[in-house]
Amino acid sequence: MIKRLKNYFDLSKREFNGLLILVFLIIGVLLTPMVYKWMMPFKPDEKEARKAIVELETLLSAQKKSYARHDAGATNFSTHDNNTYNNYPNKNNKAFVEKPAPRLFPFDPNTTDQQGWQALGFSEKQAKVIINYIRKGGIFRKPEDLQKMFVVSPAAYAQLKPYIVIKTVQRPSVEKVFNAPAYKAAAAVLIEINRADSAALDQIKGIGPAFARRIIKYRDRIGGFYKKEQLMEVYGLDSLKFNEIKDQVKVDATAVKKININTASIENFKNHPYLRYKQVNAIIQYRVQHGNYGNFADLKKVAILTPEMLEHLEPYISYTP
C-alpha cells in the first residue's frame, strides 16, 4: 500500500518520510488543546469572582449617575444659556463643541480652496471631496453643476446659490490654484531580470520587495530565465501581474546557467523545479548504460521524460563531453 502511494504521488523516500512526520505533527498540534484541558481542568476562583461582581456593580452605579447628569446637562444646553454651558460636565468633549456658523460670500467653485469651502460651512472631508473633483479635471460650468456633488445637500445648495459666481469655464491651472507641483510621469524602466538584484527589480512598477525576493529565489533555483513568460512560474505572479510588468522587463538568455548533462550528478539537479528525483535518476542511469549524451535527440530517448518536460529543460542543458 505504501509503495503504491509513493509511486502514485511520485515521492522520494526522504520526501515520503518527511510527509509522514508532518502529518503526525499536525495531529499532535490538533490534539494538544484537548489533552491540556483534560489534564488541567479549569477551577474558578470564587474569591476573585465575588470581587469582580462587586467591581462591576460599582461601575454600573457610576454609569447610571453619569447618564443622569448628562440628561440634565443636555436639557440645560438646549436653552443656550452660557452659564449653564460653562458648568456642563462634558464641555471638553469634541462631540459637544459647536460648529462655527458658515460665512457666506461670493465665490467661484472652480477656484475656491479647501479653507474657503470650510468657511462656507462644509466639513474638512466634504471640502476635500470637492477639491479632489477639481484636481481630477472636474469643472463647474454653471451654478447648477454644484448639485452634482453628493456632499452638497439641496438645502446647502439653496443657501449658496445666490453667492456662486463662475468667472470662467476654462479649467484653471491646478498648480496656480492649489500650489501643487506639476505631475511628471515617472520614466519607464527596462530591467534585465537575470542580472538584476532586489533593488533593481523593485523599480518595476507592480513589483514590490516581496515579489522581488521571490523572483530572485526562483531564478537561483532554475538557473535563470530564458523567456519572460517564465515569470508566471513565480509563486503569486499570475497572468494579470505579468501583463502589468512584461513591458518593463527584458531577458538575456546568455546569462542562463547550464548543467553539463554528461558530468552532472543528482546533486546538480537538486531543487530544480522542472525535474523530480525519478527523472534525474533516469537521466543518469541512461548515461551510465549508453554513454555520454551527444545532443538533444539523445535526451529524448529517456522514456520517462515527457515532451513538455524536455521543452522546459532544453535551454538548461549542455552536452560538453
pLDDT in tens, the chain (321 residues): 565 655 556 667 777 788 889 999 999 899 888 888 787 766 666 777 777 777 878 877 777 766 665 555 444 434 444 444 444 444 455 444 455 677 788 888 888 898 888 888 889 888 898 888 888 888 888 888 888 888 888 888 888 888 888 876 554 444 444 554 444 445 567 999 999 998 999 899 988 899 999 999 999 999 999 999 999 999 998 888 899 999 999 999 999 998 999 998 888 887 888 888 888 899 999 999 988 998 888 888 898 889 888 888 889 999 887
Residue appearing with cell numbers 446659490 = 161
Distance between the two ends of the chain, CA-based, in angstroms?
42
Verify that 123 and 67 share a domain, yes or no. no
**183 found inside a domain:** no
Query: Are 68 and 28 found together in one domain?
Result: no
Per-residue CA distances from 77 to 84, 90, 92, 205 (Å): 7, 11, 14, 56
SS3 42: coil
Is position 164 within any domain? yes
What domain range includes position 283?
259-318
Distances (CA, A) of 4 to 11, 31, 223, 303: 11, 29, 33, 21
Which amino acid, 102?
P
pLDDT score recorded for residue 223: 92
The pLDDT of residue 43 is: 63
Single out the residue in 240, 255, 270 at which a domain terminates: 255
Q: Does some domain include residue 185?
A: no
Q: Is residue 104 part of a domain?
A: no
Distance (Å, whole) CA 304 – CA 275: 11
User: CATH number, domain at 310?
Assistant: 1.10.150
d(CA 310, CA 319): 14
Residue 103 lies inside a defined structural domain of this protein: no
Closest among 251, 259, 271 to 315, alpha carbons compared: 259
Report the alpha-carbon distance of residue 8 to residue 18 in Å, rounded: 17
pLDDT of residue 232: 93
- According to DSSP, the β-strands at 249-250 and 259-260 are unpaired
Q: Based on the domain organization, do 275 and 251 belong to the same domain?
A: no
Same-domain status, 251 and 264: no
Nearest-angstrom CA–CA distance, 249 and 243: 11
The pLDDT, as a whole number, for residue 21 is 92
- Pair (169, 219) in one structural domain: no
* Per-residue pLDDT, 81: 43
Same domain, 90 and 55: yes
Determine the pLDDT at residue 102.
74
Regarding whether 71 and 24 lie in a shared domain, the answer is no
Please compute Rg for the chain using Cα positions: 36
Please tell me whether residues 266 and 246 are part of one structural domain.
no
Give the pLDDT score at 99.
54
Q: Using CA atoms, how far apart are residues 259 and 317, in angstroms rounded to an integer?
A: 5
Question: End of a domain among 255, 283, 301?
Answer: 255
Strand-pair partners of 317: 259
Does 182 map to a domain? no
Residue 119 lies inside a defined structural domain of this protein? yes
6 and 27 in a common domain: yes
**C-alpha torsion 201→204→206→210, nearest 10:** 10
Domain total of the chain:
5
**Residue linked to cell 528525483:** 277
Grid coordinates representing 319?
552536452
User: Residue 57: which residues within 8 A CB-CB, separation 6 or more?
Assistant: none
Output the pTM of the full model.
0.43
* DSSP E strand stretches across 161-308: 191-192, 249-250, 259-260
Q: Are residues 33 and 80 in the same domain?
A: no
Burial status of residue 112 (CB atoms within 10 A of its CB: 0-12, 13-18, 19 or more): buried
- The span from the CA of 269 to the CA of 317, in Å, is 11
Identify whether residues 242 and 264 lie together within a single domain: no
What CATH number corresponds to the domain at position 200?
1.10.150.310
Domain-embedded: residue 76: yes
In this prediction, residue 195 carries a pLDDT of: 92
Grid coordinates given for 127: 471640502
